[in-house]
Amino acid sequence: MEPRNAAAEEELVVSRSYAAPRQLVFDAWSSGERLAQWWGPHGFSAPECVVEFRPQGKLEILMKGHGMEHWMRGRFDEIVQGERIVFTVRVEGLDQDIRTVVTFAEEAGKTTMTIRQTVPKNSMMARGQKQGWTEQLEKLAALL
Amino acid sequence: MRTDALSATFAALADPTRRKILAQLAKGEANVSELSKPFEISQPAISKHLKVLERAGLIVRGRDAQFRPCRLSPAPLEEANDWTVELRRSWEERLDRLGDYLADLQAKEKSHGTKKRRR
């Protein structure tokens, strides 16, 4: 296997700890009814939320807010009970698939959920010399 | 959605010469001849790059027909930068809401539990 080229992939990592048992946090993903309760984000609702909670099952969410509506559609790649959820989705209008890996770890009654999102090679974000322009962009942003 | 504008921004930023031009303009406005000096490329080539940047809304050019000074227009840059920031922010908000939802579920569970015990 080729080593992953970090420079060609954008990775976003967000982590949060909850005072709740792991199974409860995991289950929040397991049906459309539950997912719609929190999918948001702020100012957005999820009036339609299709969750076929099994590998290759559909994950389709209509996000509505700020006068806009857009669908996010994809499939679950992997589900490991209580531990790990992997899905790949595409937001309508963006020409890229986004792969998300969610992991759950429980310690001393607290559950830490970690979201890792990668935007693969040849996507809009990764086009060109990504690292180069990110650095440049940061420098520019500092100057502006 | 602003996807097309964002794509134009990223496409414009994908070229190293254009990024250098932007970095140069971040120091202040300049015309084509001033911009072509540090790059050792022809003025027509610079002009081509400037057209791409202008179409992407990253620079604006003055009306003065002879000099047409260019200056940086930061809005699309900020938006492009925002895209990743935005992604993170939406996850943070989502995770906040999940926290509220979980607390809610647990509160309900607890009150049910108390009722049972009292019975």
Tell which residue, A16, A9, A2, has the closest CA to residue A119. A9
Q: How confident is the model at residue A5 (pLDDT cuts 50, 70, 90)?
A: very low
Partner-chain contact B94 A125, CB within 8 Å: no
Closest Cα of chain A to B82: distance in Å?
11
Partner-chain contact B74 A16, CB within 8 Å: no
pLDDT computed for residue A97 by the predictor? 80
Answer for the pair A20, A98: CB distance below 8 angstroms, yes or no: no
Which residues on B lie below 8 Å from A42 (Cβ)?
93, 96-97
Residues of A near B (CB-CB distance < 8 A)? 10, 12, 14, 16, 18-20, 24-25, 28, 34, 37-42, 68, 70, 93-95, 113, 115, 117, 124-125, 127-129, 132-133, 136-137, 139-141, 143-144
Smallest Cβ distance to B97: which of A12, A24, A38?
A38
Please write the tens of the pLDDT for every residue from B54-66.
Answer: 988 889 988 776 6
Partner-chain contact B81 A125, CB within 8 Å: no
Q: Which residues pair with A85 in a beta bridge?
A: A79, A102
Q: How confident is the model at residue A132 (pLDDT cuts 50, 70, 90)?
A: very low
**Tokens 């994950």, located at residue:** A59
Among the ranges given (A24-33, A77-86, A110-119, B14-23), the one the predictor scored with the smallest mean pLDDT: B14-23
Compute the distance between CA of residue A24 and CA of residue A39 in angstroms, rounded to an integer. 16
Closest Cα of chain A to B85: distance in Å?
10
Is the preceding peptide bond at A41 cis, omega within 30 degrees of 0? Answer: yes
Partner-chain contact B97 A24, CB within 8 Å: no
Q: Which of the two residues, B49 and A11, has the higher pLDDT score?
A: B49
Please write the tens of the pLDDT for every residue from B4-55.
Answer: 666 777 778 778 788 888 888 877 888 888 888 887 788 889 999 999 999 8
Q: What's the pTM?
A: 0.59
Partner-chain contact B90 A113, CB within 8 Å: no
ipTM score for this prediction: 0.73
Residues of B near A (CB-CB distance < 8 A)? 1, 3, 6-7, 10-11, 13-16, 19, 22-23, 26-27, 72, 74, 77-78, 80-81, 83-84, 87-103, 105-106
Q: Which residues of B28-58 are buried (b: 16+ CB within 10 A; e: fewer)?
A: ebbbbeebbeeeeeeeeebeebbebbeebbb
How confident is the prediction for chain A on average, in pLDDT? 78
- Whether residue A125 is predicted with pLDDT greater than 60 in this model: the reply is no
Q: How confident is the model at residue A140 (pLDDT cuts 50, 70, 90)?
A: very low
